Structure 1
């Protein structure tokens, strides 16, 4: 079920729950019976958990305002000096 919002000229916004894709363009206001037009509203993503909302916000911001890197990343991702080298790749050049 989805929540659709309609605006009545006298009573203001009216929320109606209907199956997805079944909402008409206009609806009779439940309070006064006047015709209310459907509004296009964003989905209610604010009800998700904080981690998911943070991920969505960072992804959205990276589209128009990517973070600028001012230094090389730490050596945390570099291979350890005593790491075993796969014998199949031993002959390949190393950085």
Structure 2
């Protein structure tokens, strides 16, 4: 379930876990009972799986700190083709 961020005028930030789309725009503060308004915040992507977080971090780093290379990457070695057994008895020049 997503975590919604609210801000109370007296107590500050309050995090509330609610089902997706079920968070009201104004909530009673759990500490003082006053009105806490919903804030718009960045999504918490750090709670995702490690592969996705690593991909996001690499994309962010490449935007401001691109990797400097001096040559193109080497071509991968292609394995030699395996001989076709159907052509083994053909005459060779």
User: Which TM-score applies when normalising by structure 2?
Assistant: 0.67
Distance 2:18 2:51 in 1: 29
Shift of 1:84: 5.0
- Over residues 21-72 of structure 1, what are the superposed CA-to-partner deviations in whole Å (9 max), with x where a residue is unaligned? 1212221212212111111222222233444322211123334544333112
Cα RMSD over matched residues?
A: 2.4
The 5 Å alignment of 1:6-45 reads 6-45=6-45
Distance 2:57 2:82 in 1: 40
Shift of 1:8: 0.6
Distance 1:51 1:38 in 2: 31
User: Larger Cα Rg: Structure 1 or Structure 2?
Assistant: 2
In structure 1, the partner of 2:78 is 79
In structure 2, the partner of 1:92 is none
Shift of 1:73: 1.4
User: Which TM-score applies when normalising by structure 1?
Assistant: 0.66
| Structure 1 segments unaligned to the other structure (5+ residues) | 86-95
| Structure 2 segments unaligned to the other structure (5+ residues) | 84-93
